[in-house]
Structure 1
Amino acid sequence: MVQHAHHTLPYQGYILNNKDNQPDSASELRRRAEKKIKQETGALPDDFTTLSREEIGELIHELEVHKIELQMQNDELCAAQEELELSRKRYFDLYNLAPVGYCVVNEKGFIQDVNLTAVTLLGRIRRDLINRPISEFILSEDYLRYHRHWKIVFETGQPQTIELQMLRNDKSLFWTRLDFMIAKNAGQSSVCQVTLTDISESKRLEYALKERIKKLNLLFRFSDLLEKPEISLNEVLKTTVLMIPQAWQFPGIAEACIELEGQIFQTKGFRKTQWMQTSDIVIQGKKAGQMTVCYTENRPAFNEGSFLIEESCLLNTISERLGRIIERVRLTEAVKHSEMFLRTTINSITNPFVVINASDYTIELANNAYGGEKVIGLKCHAVAHHRSTPCTDDDHPCPVQEIKRTGKPFIGELLHYDDQGNQLNMETYAFPIFEPNGQLCRVLEYQIDITAHRQTELKLEQKAAELKEMNAALKVLLKRRELDKEEIGQNIFANYQIVLTPIIQNLKNTLTQEDQREIIQILELRLKNILSPFSKKLSDKLINLTPTEIHVAHLIKSGKSNKEISQILNCSFHTVSRHRDNIRAKTNLKNKKINLRSFLLSLE
């Protein structure tokens, strides 16, 4: 009987040739069968004629059975062959078309077999890789690490994993993860199955993540730096220029420089090279400086550009923020200067000055005369009036409430209290401050302490009352004096009329000499002049006139016009008219159709 053939799968990693296990042709199969029959002829008789019919029939039966058996074996072999072809195809798909590269490497490190993915990764054709050392494709910087893992896997038999850079045929680099595992080949010798996984993208993402973290750390440190209280602009620039290189791709060879309005801040090793990037510092729309980052030596990555796009964006971001920070610092300094100027100005005001929040009556600003810093945040009614609630109209008008009601400035005299509880009379000027939308937000108050003035006025009023009483008494005395004077004058004039006039008249009649008569006339004239105050003529009528009015009366009596009088007295025409009106009023001529000059002449 023909024995069944036994088939085994080849070692994983080798590509089998189907023709090596199949007959070349049908003639070859026949030749082999005939040879086998000749070897087995000893089991058959030389002359079939000697066989009986039963033996011949049995022989034919055996031959028919053997024939059918051979056909069945052939069918089984064909089915096994088809199954083998499917298995080989599945193996090809799993091994050669796998998403990772596979290599079979012997103990000396030479490649024995390789799949299509590994061929693609290394950029070679299959025959160029067979019997080539795998270390030839390892970057020289990573060779020691590779060799160490290679040695461990053969010494211990334990799987090993390493990540390193490999070289393609075009000398380009790619990151790969190598997984080593010991296996046996068809000859039962130890080989290493090496799996190559391209991790360039994950490494790129990891590297990009690290770069992003460095840049974020720079931005966080930059933000923390700017938030430090009382930090100067020079300190910000000095610290920033030292932080920048740490966030760049190659911090060991990175240097930085900041130029700002003639000032230069730079790292120790900064110098201009061919690998530089710059960004302008713009303040209020104008270039005020420049930030520069440079590398001091070349790097392989420079062939694709010296700096990453993210680094350019980062530099632009820092320079832009730095420009805004400088604007803010300068604006803050200007505000501080303005606040200092404003505070100095209002503190130089000796009268109380205060700004009050219109909504809650809180003091937001006050000069030293009002109480300064110690009253800021307090309520105005608590400071000025020692009250826990706002003032009401029952006490006195509240400037804030009045401005709320009218929307106009307030001027008035209010009663305040000092720290000792003493009353103060304050003349208050309050002005509204409105929001852009027209809503009242603050009230500005300026106060003048008129307490001393009011006390002086009270004293003057008391003095005036006393003087008024004294004046009334003096008027009584003067009136009495005038009466006495009039009485004396009447007595003197009466005596003159009774005693002297008859004597003088007698002398005038008796004296005959001309010179004596002249002496008597002179004596009579002098006596008349002496007695003129008592004659009840001009002096009595003009007794209430002021000296100036008496002077004006004499000029009017002498025939002077108002214009001439104004020139003589060196005063205005209207002043002379006022004096004329006063004279008419004091001589009871007001509203009377009497000529003033004629009246004055009639008094002689």
Structure 2
Amino acid sequence: MAQKHTKSEIKTEEGSYSKILRHQAEEVAKRLSALAPQNFTALSPEEMQRIFHELQVYQIEFEMQNEELRRTQVELHAERDRYRELYNMAPVGYCTLSKQGLILQANHTAAKLLGVTQSRLIKEPITRFILAEDQDIYYLYHKQFDHSDKSHSCELRMIRNGGVKFWAHLEATDGQATNISEYHLIISDITQYVQMREALKVNEKIMIAQSQKASMGELISMIGHQWRQPLNTIALINQDIYIKMRLGKLDDESIYSSHEKLDGILQFMSKTIDDFRNFFTPDQPKEEIKIVDALNNALKIIGQCFDNRSIAVHIQNNSKTDFLIHKNSLVQVFMNILNNSKYAIEANDVKPAAIMITINDLHDTTVITLCDNGGGIPETILDKIGQPYFTTKGVVGTGLGLYISQTIIEKYFAGTLTWYNNPSGACFVITLNHTL
């Protein structure tokens, strides 16, 4: 951006040139005084000619310097006009504020953003154009940069003259370089950006919900696996009660024993339903948990399928860190990764099948590594499996599992999800920051 030249600065520069010319004129006078005696009538024609020549040279020098001064003045005025045009027509609003928050100067874009003329902005408090609900945001923001010469920024809602609201990005720098009592403020209209950002968040939530629903069929199958053995046990107890009744051996002790067994089984089945229902309940409050708790919760839901397929899951937990998080989101990530490992193991008919999970605290992060012996990810698709709707499972896959898992870890946990192959299978590495 062109350097700013105010009227006072231009006058100062012109005054500097005048001082230079005055100084040079005084120097000439001194030199002429040294050349000429007190009585000019005593000069010879040759001396008079020499002094006259010197005067001509100095006159030419002054004329050249004067021309240079005029040229410089023209350039300064042209630069000032260019700056004024750039300043006024810039795509963002520029304001100069006093320490008290009064607008001292504003460009055309700022005036247009705020819905008033430039002249009417002068001496107006900037807070007049900040939405009442966001005044605290500006107060804290102003307090922050009031004690620093660094650039600071914030997002808040502003209001144009007439009541139209818009989202603004403010960036201010202290004017210490020129005037310690002023701030330079840049105002950008980011309404469209904020709307797109919010729409993206909504889309992400929709995709996460779609991912959960897409897994519903498989989860219902898992409920069947979880309930198959308890239902068989209930059938056997029911049959035992009937036989004892027919044989006349159904005494109080047998009824009490059967009641205790049935009650325990029904509680287990009810807890299974709760686990699945909680998984599908959106917007649950944050809980303070350890990572292994979320992992165990995932295994409660899908563990029976692993047992039925003889897939051993080994957990080595070395973490003592508590996280205040939405547990179900992390449970969903673990379920997606574990199901991918199960699919690879089944597809390659691996026996014995195993998944090793380690959880370690490293300085300010916790790292969870899940490695299977399912043969690994083909190198040709290693960099594609995290893309949305990319699947290797044919019609039974949605292609959202890893993409949603990566989105959850990055957006909700400020972490990372990566993967690589080891000699026996695939490894997935989740890194979670302790300062969520």
TM normalised by structure 1 equals 0.31
Larger Rg: 1
Highest relative contact order (Cα 8 Å, sep 6+), 1 or 2? 2
TM normalised by structure 2 equals 0.41
